[in-house]
Amino acid sequence: MKELTKAEIEEIEKMAQSKSKLEREEAIWSKNAPVHVLEKLADDEDNDVRAAVAGHSNTPIAVLEKLANDESEDVRADVGMNVSAPIYLLEKLAGDESSLVRTFVGSNPNVSLYLLEKLSNDDCEDVRAAVGENPITPVNLLEKLSNDDCELVREGVGMNASAPVNLLEKLSNDEDWEVRLSITLNKNAPAHILEKLAKDEDANVREGVAWNKNTPAKILAILADDKNDDVRKKVTYNLNTPTEVLEKLANDDCYKVREAAS
């Protein structure tokens, strides 16, 4: 990482002392913000400023320990999401009274498998959904969460880029359209499932298929004739859409589709 010049450090220090909350936050947003600035702003009176420190990868562990006990759940949550947070801090925050904090821990890509298993049984559906969407969640937990009574949790599994194909196939038959839609938001959704969902009764799902970068050109050509204007519009945004299809959509009956295709 490029080291900051003396002038850049002085500018960050100046912003850190500003009366403007936004300027103090801007001092933190630099990827290589100086540690002494982070330590100073960890005591800021504003919750958002302290939360920004809590989420910064350069924040020292001693400061994260302090912020893990902050009165603001937003600050504690950002510690829980910090990829540099040590496991013992994540273990502490996984038992936090705030479901927001536990949700952020469940989303952390460096959380332990033990904590993922614990949080997969959390009473709060947001927490279980975060575990379902976490790319490091093991298959056995994804299988369990794909049967969760809450559609939000099943959506998390559907969007998980590491979810096995058999689970995505199962969820493509889910009774809830938002769960089926979640699969179309998955960057690793296989073409054969997208082809199936292109025939879904819900226009939102078909729109998601039209948007997905894995959707084959032949399916996009079919969706270009969809009765829903928004589906046809999404086809124009997909890089896999053939030129001849875009040319056809440039003459669509709907103005917003023609405009998008032009």
Task: Indicate the pLDDT class of residue 1, thresholds 50, 70 and 90.
Answer: low
Nearest-angstrom CA–CA distance, 6 and 8 = 5
Predicted confidence at residue 71, as pLDDT, reads: 98
Question: What is the rounded average pLDDT for all residues in the chain?
Answer: 96
Integer angstrom CA distances of residue 192 from 6, 110, 199, 220: 55, 32, 12, 13
Residue 216 is given by DSSP the state: -
- Find all residues with CB under 8 Å of 207, minimum gap 6, and list them: 228, 230, 231, 234
Task: Indicate the pLDDT class of residue 112, thresholds 50, 70 and 90.
Answer: very high
Query: What is the mean predicted confidence (pLDDT) over 87-114?
Result: 98
8 Å CB contact between 249 and 232: yes
8 Å CB contact between 223 and 209: yes
Write out the H or E segment, with its range, that includes residue 80.
helix 73-81
Identity of the amino acid at 56: H
Predicted confidence at residue 77, as pLDDT, reads: 98
Nearest-angstrom CA–CA distance, 17 and 2 = 24
Task: Indicate the pLDDT class of residue 30, thresholds 50, 70 and 90.
Answer: confident
Nearest to 167 by CA among 212, 122, 219, 153: 153
Query: What is the mean predicted confidence (pLDDT) over 12-18?
Result: 94
What percentage of residues in the chain have a pLDDT greater than 90?
A: 95
Q: What is the DSSP string of 199-247?
A: T-SSHHHHHHHHH-TTS-HHHHHHHTT-SSHHHHHHHHH-TTS-HHHHH
Predicted confidence at residue 242, as pLDDT, reads: 97
In this predicted structure, the answer to whether residue 155 has a pLDDT above a threshold of 70 is: yes
Q: What is the dihedral of CA 161, 166, 167, 170, to 10 degrees?
A: 130
Report phi then psi at 245, rounded to 5. Answer: -70, -40
Task: Indicate the pLDDT class of residue 256, thresholds 50, 70 and 90.
Answer: very high
Could you tell me which residue, 187 or 31, shows the higher pLDDT? 187
The predicted-structure confidence for 190-232, as pLDDT tens digits, reads as follows: 999 999 999 999 999 999 999 999 999 999 999 999 999 999 9
In this predicted structure, the answer to whether residue 31 has a pLDDT above a threshold of 80 is: no
Domain ranges of the chain: 1-96, 112-189, 192-262
